[in-house]
Amino acid sequence: MSETAIFLLDGEEVPFEPGQTVIQAALSAGRYIPHLCYHPEFKPHGSCKVCTVKVNGRTAASCTLPAQAGLDVESDTEEINELRRTLVQMLFAEGNHFCPSCEKSGNCTLQALGYDLGVMTAGFRHFFPDRPVDASHPDILLDFNRCILCELCVRASCEVDDKCVFALSGRGLSKHLVVNAESGLLADTDIALTDKAMEVCPVGVILKKRVGFAQPIGRRRYDPDPISAQALRDAPRPPTGAGHCAACEVEE
Amino acid sequence: MNAPVETKKKLRVATTSLAGCFGCHMSFLDIDERLFPLLDLIEFDRSPLTDIKHCGPCDIGIVEGGICNAENVHVLREFRRNCKILIAIGACAVTGGLPAQRNHLDLGDCLSEVYLTEGGLEHGLIPNDPELPLPLDKVHPLHEVVKVDYFIPGCPPSADAIWKFLTDLIAGRTPKLGHGLIKYD
C-alpha cells in the first residue's frame, strides 16, 4: 500500500514509522495516551488495559495495536477516560494501597494516574487482602500489598538481568507475584540492588531498604507536574538510556 | 424589586469524625481567615465546632473517618438521613485508611494483643462496659455502608483542597480539585 503513514488520533493526524504501535507513535508525536504496564524498554504486555482506545468503533489496547494508515483512534474522550478511571479504581480496591504510609507515594505511577484521571475514590468494595510482606533480604523489601500484576519486574528480571527472580502464579483472583526460590523468599535469590528489576516497579512493591522518605513528600516525581505532562517530556523514549527508568527516576 | 440577596438562606452544614483522628477537621480549620467568607454562606449544625449532639436536616454533611464500630454506623446513617449531600473527607472515610490496616487480622487477636498479652498486663481485661460501642469485625470506608455523594481524598486533604471543593459545591459547580490538590497521601 502506498498510503502515507498517518493515522487519526482524536481527529488529528499522527505520523508513524513501520513497526510502531499506536501508543509509541502517539507519544513520539507528543500525544499522551494514559498507560500503566507499558514501558518503552520492554515488549508490550497489554494487561492493564489503561491505554485502551477506540479504533474504528472497537476498543483495543494501544500498546499492542500496530499503527496502520487510516486508523481512526479515539483516546481523550469522556467514554474512554471513564473506562480508564474504572480500571484504576479496581486496582485500588483489589490490593491494599494505603498511600499515607507508602514510601512510593509521589513517585507512584498508579497514584499519579489516579490524580490525572480525577479518581476520587476506589468506589468498589475493598478486598483488604492478606498479603504478608517479604523482608527477608538484607537490602530489599517486598510489599505484595501494592502489586498490580503488571509483570514489569518479571520482564526486567528475565529479559535484562537474566535471573528470572519474579514470576506470577495462580489464575484469576488468586493470581499473585511469587519469588523464584525454593523457600519463596527473596533472600534466597541472587537479586542485586543494581538489577533492572529494582527500578521498574510502577507501585511500591520492590523497595530499597533504609532510604524511606529521604526524598520528602512534596518534592517527588509527580509533585511538580501531572503524569500526562511528564510522559510527553520523556517521549520519544529511546531504549539507549541503560538504567533509566521513567517510573522510578529520582529528581535532582 | 427589592434586593432579594438579603434573604438568601445560609446552607446548613454538619460535620463529624468517626474512625478518624480529627486531622481532616484540623485541615478544614486551616482555611484560616477564609472561614469568615465561608460563614457568610453556611451555618453549622452538629459538629465538633458547635457541640450539637444530633444532626438535624442539613444541606451538606461532611464525614471524616471510616466505620469501625456500631456507633459509627448509627451516626453515619443519621447523617445520611438528614443531609442532602454527603461528603466523605479524608483517606479513612474514602478507603478505610489507617484503622483498616487491621482488616487482615482477627479482631479477637487484636484485642488480646492490646489488652491481655502485652507486657505488664497480666491482670488485663478486654473492656466490656455496655456504654462502649462494639467494634466491627472489619473497618469499612463510608461508601460500603451508605450512599456517598462526593469524596475528598487525602491524609488529610489540604486546606486549599477543602476550600476549592466547598466553594465549587456552594457555587453550584461540579467540584474539581485538579493537579496538586488531589492527593491520596
Task: Flag if A121 and B88 touch (Cβ within 8 Å).
Answer: yes
Average pLDDT for residues B75-90, to the nearest whole number? 98
* Residue at B114 is within a domain: no
Given a cut of 60, is residue A204 above it in pLDDT?
A: yes
Task: Flag if B94 and A101 touch (Cβ within 8 Å).
Answer: no
CA separation for the pair B116, A127 (Å, rounded):
29
Enumerate helices (H) and strands (E) in chain A, giving the number of each. Answer: 5, 9
Q: Return the residue matching grid coordinates 497489554.
A: A46
Task: Flag if A130 and B104 touch (Cβ within 8 Å).
Answer: yes
DSSP sequence for B78-90: HHHHHEEEEEEEH
Is the domain of A60 the same as that of A13? yes
From chain A, the residues in CB contact with B179 under 8 A are 115-116, 225-226
Average pLDDT for residues A204-211, to the nearest whole number? 96
Searching chain A, which residue's CA lies closest to the CA of residue B98? A98
CA separation for the pair A157, A150 (Å, rounded):
13
Given a cut of 80, is residue A211 above it in pLDDT?
A: yes
From chain B, the residues in CB contact with A102 under 8 A are 185
Last residue of some domain: A18, A53, A80? Answer: A80
Reported as a pLDDT band with limits 50, 70 and 90, residue B3 is low
From chain A, the residues in CB contact with B88 under 8 A are 121
Tell which residue, B142, B165, B177, has the closest CA to residue B19.
B142
Nearest to A128 among B100, B143, B153 (CB): B100
CA of B164 vs chain A CAs: smallest distance (Å): 14
Task: Flag if A102 and B177 touch (Cβ within 8 Å).
Answer: no
Consecutive H or E run containing A88? helix A78-94
Is the domain of A102 the same as that of A227? yes
Tell which residue, A95, A199, A197, has the closest CA to residue A147.
A95
Average pLDDT for residues B139-162, to the nearest whole number? 98
* Residue at A88 is within a domain: no
Consecutive H or E run containing A73? strand A72-74
| Mean of pLDDT over chain A | 91
Question: How many domains is chain A built from?
Answer: 2
> Which of A120, A213, A230 to mutate: most B Cβ within 10 Å?
A120
| A208-216, long-range: CB < 8 A, 24+ apart | A208/A139, A208/A140, A208/A141, A209/A137, A209/A138, A209/A139, A209/A140, A209/A141, A210/A139, A211/A103, A212/A103, A213/A103, A215/A106, A215/A107, A215/A250
* Residue at A246 is within a domain: no
Backbone angles phi, psi at B100, to 5 degrees: -75, -5
Is the domain of A39 the same as that of A103? no
The pLDDT, as a whole number, for residue A239 is 45
From chain B, the residues in CB contact with A217 under 8 A are 185
Is the domain of A70 the same as that of A103? no
Is the domain of A230 the same as that of A106? yes
Is the domain of A221 the same as that of A112? yes
Q: What is the CATH number of the domain that holds A130?
A: 3.30.70.20
Question: How many domains is chain B built from?
Answer: 1
Is the domain of A69 the same as that of A115? no
Residues of A near B (CB-CB distance < 8 A)? Answer: 92, 96-102, 105-106, 111, 114-116, 118, 120-123, 125-126, 128-131, 217, 223, 225-226
Task: Flag if B101 and A111 touch (Cβ within 8 Å).
Answer: no
* Residue at B3 is within a domain: no
Rg (CA), chain A: 18
Range of the domain at A41: 6-80
The predicted model scores a pTM of 0.92
Angle at B92 between CA B90 and CA B97, to 5 degrees: 125
- List pLDDT tens digits, range B115-134: 888 777 777 889 999 999 99
- The dihedral over CA atoms of A85, B95, B54, B52, expressed in degrees to the nearest 10, equals -100
Q: What is the CATH number of the domain that holds A64?
A: 3.10.20.740
Is the domain of A106 the same as that of A193? yes
Specify the 3-state DSSP secondary structure of A54.
strand
Q: Could you say which residues from 139 to 178 on chain B have a Cβ atom under 8 Å away from some Cβ of chain A? A: 140-141, 143-144, 148, 150-153, 155, 176-177
CA separation for the pair B25, B48 (Å, rounded):
9
ipTM confidence score = 0.92
Is the domain of A38 the same as that of A64? yes
A117 and A88 Cβ atoms separated by less than 8 Å: yes
Average pLDDT for residues B97-107, to the nearest whole number? 96
Task: Flag if A98 and B182 touch (Cβ within 8 Å).
Answer: no
Task: Flag if A99 and B185 touch (Cβ within 8 Å).
Answer: yes
Task: Flag if A115 and B101 touch (Cβ within 8 Å).
Answer: no
Q: Return the residue matching grid coordinates 494516574.
A: A113
Given a cut of 60, is residue A207 above it in pLDDT?
A: yes
Is the domain of A112 the same as that of A57? no
Is the domain of A21 the same as that of A134? no
B22 and B48 Cβ atoms separated by less than 8 Å: yes
Q: What is the CATH number of the domain that holds B92?
A: 3.40.50.700
Range of the domain at B72: 11-103+137-170
Task: Flag if B150 and A111 touch (Cβ within 8 Å).
Answer: no
Average pLDDT for residues A61-71, to the nearest whole number? 96
Last residue of some domain: A16, A49, A80? Answer: A80
Given a cut of 90, is residue B40 above it in pLDDT?
A: yes
Is the domain of A138 the same as that of A191? yes
- List pLDDT tens digits, range A179-190: 999 999 999 999
